[in-house]
C-alpha cells in the first residue's frame, strides 16, 4: 500500500482517506492527516513506525522548548542555549539517520525505515527554521506531526519546508479546482512511472542479466540512457504523484523537478533535479558553511563536502560516495575552468549534460566497483577485453525500445510537458488522461494480482 | 441543481475516473456469476474492478463460459489417462505374454473408438495399438536383430496395416542397445541423472505434490520403454544443425550467447510455460540472426527437425502443483511428437537457482525445481525421449547455481552459456 502505484493505494486508501479528509472540518484536518499517515506507514513498515513516531515526538519537544517569538531581543545566555538545543537536535537527527544506515548496510537492509532519509531531513530543517526564526507561529504538536509524517511525502519526498505547508489551524482549505489539478498531476505521474519508467527499466534489467562483459558498446550506451530515463521518470513521476496528492489535501504543489535535461550545465542540472533536496543542502549545509563568499578554496571545499554528503545520503556503498565525488569535481571544473566555454558556446552545456549525466548515473546504478569498471570498458572499448559479445544486440533492443526512448526524449523537452499541463482542462486532455490512468492501472493490476506474475523468466 | 452542475464542471477528470470505475465495477459484478466466477478476490486490498483487468489480461470476459475454459484446459489430461492402460500396467510389468495379448486387444478397441469420435486426441490410442503390434512382432524383431537386419521385418506389418502403423516407428540404429526383454527401468547412461539440491525448508507446499506421488512410466504408447535404448554420447557442434530449442527467457539467452551453429533454431518467449507454449506468439530465431514472431504450432507444422530440446519449468514454479506440471509437460511432448514424429525429444531439467534465492524464496527454490525435474524425468523412454540435466555444469556441491554465473540467480550471464552448450555436446543421442 505504501506504493502509490498499487491497486490498494489507488482504490482503497486514497478514496477512503480523501473523502474522510474532505468532510473533516479544517481545524481537525491535521489530526486526520497525521492519523491516516500513520496507518499508511504502518501498513508497509510495521513496527518501524515506532521510529518515526519517536523521532516525531522528540523533535516536537525540542522544537517546543527552543521556540521563541521571532524578532524578540534575546540575552546572550538565551542565544547560547538556543544554539545548543538546535545543535543537539540536528546532531540527534543526523545520528538516527547514520545509525540506521549503518545498521541496514551491516545487518539487514530491512532494518532501514522507509523514507527515513526524507523525514529526518524535514526534521533537521524544522529545527533550524525554528532556531533561525523562520517560522511565524509556534507549531502545535499536530501541526508538527502532520508535517513530518504526511503520507504523500513520507516515502520519497519531496522535502517540503514547514512554512510551505500552511499547517497552522484553518490555514488550509481544499477547493474542487485544487483537487482536480492534483488529480491531473497524480495521473500524469502514475503514467510516467508505470508506462515509461518501469518499462524502459526492463532494458537495464536485461543488461544486468546478460552481464556487463557481454554487451556491445552501443548497447552499453543505450543502457546508460535507459537507466537515466528510468530513474528520471520514476522519480519525477513519483514527485508528481506526491505533489498531486498534496494538492488534493489543500497544499500547494511542491515542484521537485524542473526539466533537468534541458539544463545548461551540470550545476544547473542539479538546480532542476530533485530540487527540494538540492535546496535543502544549499540552505542547511552549503550556506552555513560559508557558501561561495569566502574565497575559491573555501568554495571548493564546501562544494566537495556538500557532494560527498549528497552521495552518502543516497546510499552507503562506495559507488554512491564516488558518484558524489565525481559530481563535486565536475561542478567545480564547470565553475572555475570551463565556465567561459559554457557561457559562450550555445547548447554546449546541454550537450555536456546529455553525455556526462548518464555516465554519472551508471556510477550510481552499479554498486559493485569491479562490475562498474567492466561497464566503463564497454562504454569506452579502447581498453579491456570483451567476453562473449553479440554485436547486433543493440539492434534487437532498439526494435523493442525505440517508442519508449522517443517518448522519453520528447518528455525531456520542457515544451511537451508544459503543453500537457496547459491543455489539461480540455476535453481531449480529459480523455487522454483517463486512458493513461486505466492503462497504467491495468499494468499495475497485472503485475500485482499474482505474485508469481511479477517474476517472468 | 445548478450548483451541483457548476461543481461537477470543475472536476471533469475526477468525475470521469469515478464514473469509469463504477462502470467497470458493474461489469465485474455482472461477470462474477460467469466469466470471473473462478477468480479469487481479496476485497480488503483489491477493488472488484480488478477482476475486469485481470480478465482482459487472461482473455477472460464477463460472458466467457468458465466451464468451457476449464474443459479446454483439462481436455488433454482427461484424454491422457484412460483406465485401461492403468489396469494393464501390472501384468505388463510381470512380462506375461497372455496379458500382453489382452492389452493389444484393448488397445485396438480404443483406436476404433477414438476414430469414431473423431477426437483430436488420438495419440494415446494410436500408441496403444502400435505397441500392441510391436509386441506381436516381438519375436520376428528379435530374430531379425540376430541376423543384423532390423528394418526388413518392420516393413511387413506396415504394409499389412498401414492405417494403424504410425510413421514414427524408429529404426534401431547402430547405437541402439537391444535387450531380450522390455525394460522396466532405464539403465544408467540413457539419461543424465536428476541433479539433487539442498532443501532449505522454505518451499511452499502449495506448489508441490505429496512426496509419495508416483509418476508411473507407461507400459504402452509413446512413453513406454522398449526392448532397446540409446545411450548418451558426445558429439561435435554440427549435431545441432537441425535442432530446435523451445523455451523461456533462458533459451532466449542461449540463442544469442550460446554460440550455436548457424542452422540451429530457437523458439522462445519470456515467461513461457508448458501451459502457454502452444497458445502464445513466440520469437522464432535462427542462429544466423534472423528472427520473427510465430507460434510453435506453425513452426512445427512447416519444418522438420531432427532434435527438439525443451527447456521450460521456471515460470510454472508458482503454479500449483508438480503433478499438474507433469501432466501438462506430458501433453506438450505428446503433441510435439505428433507433429514431429521422427525427432528426438530432449527434456531439459530446469536449471537450479542460486543459494540466495533457493534459501529464501518460497516459490523459486531448488527444492521445488528438483521435485519437478524428478517428475518429468520419468517421461523419458530411452529411445526417442530423453531427460538431460545440465545442473552438473553450473551448480555447487549443494546443487545451488554458482553465484559467479548469474546476476539474478536465475539466468546465466551471456559469457556462461558456453557451459550449457558444452553439456549438450557431451550428452547427445546418436541414432
The verdict on residue B177 lying in a domain is: no
CA distance B330 to B275: 11
Share of chain B above pLDDT 70, in %: 75
Longest CA span, chain A: 74
pLDDT of B113 reads: 43
Q: Are A160 and A186 found together in one domain?
A: no
DSSP code per residue over A212-277: GGGS-HHHHHHHHHHHHHHHHHHHHHHHHHHHHHHHHTTPPPPP----GGG-SSHHHHHHHSSHHH
Do A161 and A228 fall into the same domain? no
Report B:44-63 residues touching A (Cβ under 8 A): 44-47, 49-50, 53-54, 56-57
Position B131 pLDDT exceeds 60: no
Q: Give the pLDDT of residue B65.
A: 82
Counting residues of chain B whose pLDDT is more than 90, the rounded percentage is 51
Q: How many residues in total does chain A contain?
A: 457
B residues 96-135 near A, CB within 8 Å?
Answer: none
Q: Is residue A334 part of a domain?
A: yes
3-state class of B157 per DSSP?
helix
* β-strand partners of B401: B354, B395
Q: What is the pLDDT of residue A169?
A: 62
* pLDDT for A387: 59
Say yes or no: A284 and A213 in one domain: yes
Q: Are residues A230 and A344 in the same domain?
A: yes
Closest residue, chain B, to A9 (C-alpha): B45
Residue A303 within a domain: yes
- CATH of residue B389's domain is 3.40.50.1110
Q: B345 by DSSP, 3-state: which?
A: strand
Question: Closest residue of B to A426, CA-based?
Answer: B12
B236 and B359 in one domain? Answer: yes
**Residue span of the structural domain in which B253 resides:** 205-429
Angle (CA) B255 A365 A3, round 5°? 95
Residues B412 and B348 in one domain: yes
**Is residue B392 a part of any domain in this protein?**
yes
* Whether residue B239 is found in the same domain as residue B356: yes
Q: How far is the C-alpha of A445 from the C-alpha of A10, rounded, in Å?
A: 11
| Phi/psi of residue A53, nearest 5 degrees | -65, -40
Q: Are residues B275 and B379 in the same domain?
A: yes
The answer as to whether A83 is a domain residue is yes
Q: Are B10 and B79 members of one domain?
A: no
Chain CA centroid to CA A321, Å: 18
Among B38, B64, B90, give the residue marking a domain's end.
B64
| Residues whose CB is less than 8 angstroms from the CB of residue A117 and which lie 6 or more positions away in sequence, other chains included | A97, A313
- Is residue B366 domain-resident? yes
Could you tell me whether strands B228-229 and B385-388 are parallel, antiparallel, or unpaired per DSSP bridges?
unpaired
Q: Tell me the residue length of chain B.
A: 431
Give the mean model confidence (pLDDT) for residues A322-341: 94
Residues A234 and A374 reside in one and the same domain: yes
Rounded-to-10 torsion of CA B277, B282, B288, B290: 160
Same domain, A136 and A218: no
Residue of A nearest to B41 (CA): A449
Per the structure, the count of domains in chain B is 3
Q: Is the pTM of this model over 0.95?
A: no
Q: Of the residues B152, B169, B186, which one is the last residue of a structural domain? A: B169
Burial B147-174 (b: 16+ CB within 10 A, else e): eeebeebbeebeeeeeebbbebbbebee
β-strands B307-311, B243-247 pairing? parallel
Asked if B24 and B107 sit in the same domain, the reply is no
**Does a structural domain hold residue B139?**
yes
B408 to A437: CB separation less than 8 angstroms, yes or no: no
Q: What is the spatial distance between Cα A222 and Cα A126, in angstroms, rounded to a whole number?
A: 42
Final residue of a structural domain among B169, B196, B220: B169
Q: Which of A8, A389, A442 sits opposite B56 (nearest CB)?
A: A442
Shortest distance between the Cα of A412 and any Cα of chain B, in A, equals: 25
The alpha-carbon gap from A11 to the nearest alpha carbon of chain B, in Å, equals 6
Q: Examine residue A112 and state whether it is found in any structural domain, yes or no.
A: yes
Averaged pLDDT for residues A321-334:
96
Q: Which of A172, A187, A222 marks a domain boundary?
A: A172
d(CA A60, CA A82) in angstroms, rounded, equals 15
Q: Residue B115: what pLDDT? A: 41
Cβ contact, residue pair A452, B318, below 8 Å:
yes
- Residue B136 above 50 pLDDT? no
Shortest distance, CA B136 to any CA of chain A (angstroms): 47
Residue B131 lies in a domain: yes
Chain B residues whose beta carbon lies within 8 Å of the beta carbon of residue A449: 46, 50, 53-54, 57
Judged against a pLDDT cut of 80, whether residue A365 lies above it is answered with yes
Residue B124: pLDDT band with limits 50, 70, 90: very low
In the predicted structure, residue A349 carries a pLDDT above the cut 90: yes
pLDDT at residue B260 in the model: 87
Task: Please give the full DSSP string across A77-124, using - where no structure is assigned.
Answer: HHHHHHHHHHHHHHHHHHHHHHHHHHHHHHT-GGGS-TTHHHHHHHHH
Looking at the domain assignment, is residue A1 inside a domain? no
B188 found inside a domain: no
Q: What total number of domains does chain A contain?
A: 2
Do residues A337 and A409 both lie within one domain? yes
Q: Which helix (H) or strand (E) holds B385?
A: strand B385-388
The pairing of strands B428-429 and B232-233 is antiparallel
Residues of B in Cβ contact (< 8 Å) with A204: none
Residues B36 and B122 in one domain: no
- Please tell me the predicted confidence (pLDDT) of residue A385: 61
Asked if B12 has any chain A CB less than 8 Å from its own CB, the reply is yes
Domain boundary among A140, A172, A204: A172
Q: What is the SS3 assignment for B61?
A: coil
- B319 with B360, same domain: the answer is yes
CB contacts of A450 in chain B (<8 Å) are 318
Q: How far apart are CA B327 and CA B349, in angstroms?
A: 16
Interface of B with A in 346-375 (CB under 8 A): 363-364
Q: How confident is the model over A206-261, as pLDDT tens digits?
A: 899 999 999 999 999 999 999 999 999 999 999 999 999 999 999 999 999 999 99
Total beta-carbon pairs less than 8 A apart between chain A and chain B? 129
Q: Closest by alpha carbon to A33, among A167, A164, A184, A176?
A: A167
Contacts of A438 in chain B (CB under 8 A): 20
Nearest to A387 among B56, B289, B415 (CB): B415
Name the residue among B7, B6, B54 with its Cα closest to residue B32. Answer: B54
Are B82 and B60 members of one domain?
Answer: no
The order of strands in the sheet holding B307-311 is: B291-294, B282-286, B265-268, B243-247, B307-311, B344-348, B385-388
Phi, psi of B293 (to 5 degrees): -90, 140
- Mean pLDDT computed over A288-316: 93
B12 to A11: CB separation less than 8 angstroms, yes or no? no
pLDDT band at B129 (very low <50, low <70, confident <90, very high): very low
CB contact under 8 Å between A389 and B414, yes or no, is yes
Mean pLDDT for A43-48 is 91
Residues B226 and B375 in one domain: yes
- How far apart, in whole angstroms, are the C-alpha atoms of residue B257 and residue A211? 11
Give yes or no: residues B295 and B365 share one domain.
yes
- CA B393 vs. chain centroid, Å, equals 22
DSSP string, B308-337: EEEE--STTTTSS-HHHHHHHHHHHHHHHH
Is residue B253 within 8 A of residue B417, CB to CB? The reply is yes
Is residue B192 included in any domain, yes or no? Answer: no
Helix (H, G, I), strand (E, B) or coil at A340: helix
B101-111 exposure pattern, b = at least 16 Cβ within 10 A, e = fewer: ebbbebbbebb
Higher pLDDT residue, B228 or B149? B228
Contact B374, B194 (CB under 8 A): yes
Given A138, A172, A206, the domain boundary residue is A172
Query: Do B141 and B241 share a domain, yes or no?
Result: no
Q: Tens of pLDDT along B295-325?
A: 999 999 999 999 999 999 999 998 888 999 9
Of the candidate ranges A33-37, A355-359, B40-44, the one whose mean pLDDT is the lowest: B40-44
Distance from CA of B424 to the nearest CA of A (A): 18
Most confident of A368-382, B79-93, B385-399: B385-399
Domain of residue A378: give its range: 179-454
Task: Say if A304 falls within a structural domain.
Answer: yes
**B117-129: average pLDDT:** 42
Helix, coil or strand: residue B285: strand
Same domain, A72 and A137: yes
Please name the residues between 132 and 161 in chain B that touch chain A, using a CB distance below 8 Å. Answer: none
A43 in the same domain as A142: yes
Place of cell 507433469: B326
**Which cell is A288 given?**
552555513
Report the candidate in B353, B396, B357 with the shortest Cα–Cα distance to residue B372. B353
In a domain, residue B334? The reply is yes
Amino acid at each position: 500500500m505504501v506504493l502509490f502505484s498499487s491497486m490498494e493505494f489507488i482504490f482503497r486508501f486514497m478514496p477512503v482517506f480523501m473523502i474522510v479528509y474532505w468532510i473533516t472540518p479544517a481545524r481537525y484536518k491535521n489530526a486526520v492527516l497525521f492519523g491516516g499517515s500513520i496507518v499508511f506507514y504502518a501498513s508497509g513498515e510495521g513496527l518501524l513506525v515506532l521510529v518515526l513516531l519517536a523521532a516525531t515526538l522528540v523533535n516536537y519537544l525540542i522544537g517546543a522548548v527552543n521556540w521563541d517569538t521571532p524578532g524578540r531581543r534575546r540575552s546572550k545566555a538565551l542565544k547560547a542555549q538556543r544554539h545548543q538545543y538546535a545543535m543537539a537536535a540536528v546532531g540527534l537527527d543526523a545520528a538516527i539517520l547514520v545509525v540506521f544506515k549503518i545498521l541496514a548496510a551491516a545487518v539487514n537492509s530491512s532494518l532501514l525505515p522507509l523514507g527515513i532519509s526524507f523525514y529526518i531531513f524535514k526534521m533537521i530543517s524544522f529545527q533550524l527554521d525554528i532556531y533561525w526564526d523562520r517560522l511565524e507561529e509556534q507549531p502545535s504538536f499536530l501541526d508538527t506531526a502532520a508535517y513530518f509524517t504526511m503520507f504523500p511525502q513520507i516515502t520519497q519526498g519531496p522535502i517540503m519546508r514547514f512554512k510551505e505547508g500552511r499547517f497552522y489551524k484553518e490555514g488550509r482549505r481544499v477547493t474542487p479546482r485544487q483537487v482536480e489539478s492534483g488529480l491531473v498531476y497524480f495521473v500524469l505521474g502514475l503514467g510516467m512511472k508505470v508506462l515509461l519508467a518501469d518499462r524502459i527499466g526492463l532494458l537495464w534489467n536485461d543488461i544486468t542479466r546478460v552481464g556487463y562483459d557481454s554487451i556491445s558498446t552501443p548497447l552499453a550506451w543505450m543502457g546508460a540512457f535507459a537507466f537515466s530515463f528510468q530513474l528520471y521518470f520514476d522519480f519525477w513521476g513519483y514527485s508528481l504523484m506526491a505533489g498531486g496528492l498534496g494538492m488534493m489535501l489543500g497544499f500547494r504543489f511542491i515542484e521537485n523537478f524542473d526539466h533537468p535535461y534541458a539544463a545548461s550545465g551540470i550545476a544547473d542540472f542539479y538546480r532542476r533535479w530533485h530540487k527540494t533536496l538540492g535546496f535543502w543542502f544549499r540552505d542547511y549545509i552549503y550556506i552555513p558553511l560559508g557558501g561561495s563568499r569566502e574565497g575559491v578554496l573555501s568554495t571548493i571545499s564546501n562544494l566537495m563536502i556538500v557532494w560527498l554528503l549528497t552521495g552518502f545520503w543516497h546510499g552507503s556503498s562506495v559507488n554512491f560516495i564516488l558518484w558524489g565525488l565525481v559530481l563535486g569535481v565536475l561542478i567545480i571544473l564547470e565553475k572555475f575552468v570551463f565556465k567561459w566555454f559554457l557561457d559562450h558556446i550555445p547548447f554546449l552545456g546541454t550537450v555536456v549534460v546529455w553525455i556526462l549525466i548518464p555516465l554519472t548515473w551508471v556510477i550510481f546504478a552499479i554498486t559493485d566497483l569491479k562490475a562498474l569498471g567492466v561497464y566503463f570498458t564497454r562504454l569506452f572499448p579502447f581498453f579491456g577485453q570483451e567476453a562473449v559479445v553479440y554485436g547486433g544486440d543493440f539492434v534487437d533492443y532498439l526494435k523493442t525500445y525505440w517508442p519508449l526512448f522517443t517518448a522519453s526524449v520528447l518528455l525531456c523537452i520542457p515544451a511537451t510537458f508544459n503543453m500537457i499541463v496547459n491543455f489539461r482542462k480540455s476535453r481531449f486532455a480529459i480523455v487522454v488522461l483517463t486512458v493513461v490512468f486505466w492503462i497504467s492501472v491495468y499494468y499495475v493490476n497485472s503485475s500485482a494480482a499474482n505474485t508469481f506474475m511479477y517474476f517472468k523468466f | 441543481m445548478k450548483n451541483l452542475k457548476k461543481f461537477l464542471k470543475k472536476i471533469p477528470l475526477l468525475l470521469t475516473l469515478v464514473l469509469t470505475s463504477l462502470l467497470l465495477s458493474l461489469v465485474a459484478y455482472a461477470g462474477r456469476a460467469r466469466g470471473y466466477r473462478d477468480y479469487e478476490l481479496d476485497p480488503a486490498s483489491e477493488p472488484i474492478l480488478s477482476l475486469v483487468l485481470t480478465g482482459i489480461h487472461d482473455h477472460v470476459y464477463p460472458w466467457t463460459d468458465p466451464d468451457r475454459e476449464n474443459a479446454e484446459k483439462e481436455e488433454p489430461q482427461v484424454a491422457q489417462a484412460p483406465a485401461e492402460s492403468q489396469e494393464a500396467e501390472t501384468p505388463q510389468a510381470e512380462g506375461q505374454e497372455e496379458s500382453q495379448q489382452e492389452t493389444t486387444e484393448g488397445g485396438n478397441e480404443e483406436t476404433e473408438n477414438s476414430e469414431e469420435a473423431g477426437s483430436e486426441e488420438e495419440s494415446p490410442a494410436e500408441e496403444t495399438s502400435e505397441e500392441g503390434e510391436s509386441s506381436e512382432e516381438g519375436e520376428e524383431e528379435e530374430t531379425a536383430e540376430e541376423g543384423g537386419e532390423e528394418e526388413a521385418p518392420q516393413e511387413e506389418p506396415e504394409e499389412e496395416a498401414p492405417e494403424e502403423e504410425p510413421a514414427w516407428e524408429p529404426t534401431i540404429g547402430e547405437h541402439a542397445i537391444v535387450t531380450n526383454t522390455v525394460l522396466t527401468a532405464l539403465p544408467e547412461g540413457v539419461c543424465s541423472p536428476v541433479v539433487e539440491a539442498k532443501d532449505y525448508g522454505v518451499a511452499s507446499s502449495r506448489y508441490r505434490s505429496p512426496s509419495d506421488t508416483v509418476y508411473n512410466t507407461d507400459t504402452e504408447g509413446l512413453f513406454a520403454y522398449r526392448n532397446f535404448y540409446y545411450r548418451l554420447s558426445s558429439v561435435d557442434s554440427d549435431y545441432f544443425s537441425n535442432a530446435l530449442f523451445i523455451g523461456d527467457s533462458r533459451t532466449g539467452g542461449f540463442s544469442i550467447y550460446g554460440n550455436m551453429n548457424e542452422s540451429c533454431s530457437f523458439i522462445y518467449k519470456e515467461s513461457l510455460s508448458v501451459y502457454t507454449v502452444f497458445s502464445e506468439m513466440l520469437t522464432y530465431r535462427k542462429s544466423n540472426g534472423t528472427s520473427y514472431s510465430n507460434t510453435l504450432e506453425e513452426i512445427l507444422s512447416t519444418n522438420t527437425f531432427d532434435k527438439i530440446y525443451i527447456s521450460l519449468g521456471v515460470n510454472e514454479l508458482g503454479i500449483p502443483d508438480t503433478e499438474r506440471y507433469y501432466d501438462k509437460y506430458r501433453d506438450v511432448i505428446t503433441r510435439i511428437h505428433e507433429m514431429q514424429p521422427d525427432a528426438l525429444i530432449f527434456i531439459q531439467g530446469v536449471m537450479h537457482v542460486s543459494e540466495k534465492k533457493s534459501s529464501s524464496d518460497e516459490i523459486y527454490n531448488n527444492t521445488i525445481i528438483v521435485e519437478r525435474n524428478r517428475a518429468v524425468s520419468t517421461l523419458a523412454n530411452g529411445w526417442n525421449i530423453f531427460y538431460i540435466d545440465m545442473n552438473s555444469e553450473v551448480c555447487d556441491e549443494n546443487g545451488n547455481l554458482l553465484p559467479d554465473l548469474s546476476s539474478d540467480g536465475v539466468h546465466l550471464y551471456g559469457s556462461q552459456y558456453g557451459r550449457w552448450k558444452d553439456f549438450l555436446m557431451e550428452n547427445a543421442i546418436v541414432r
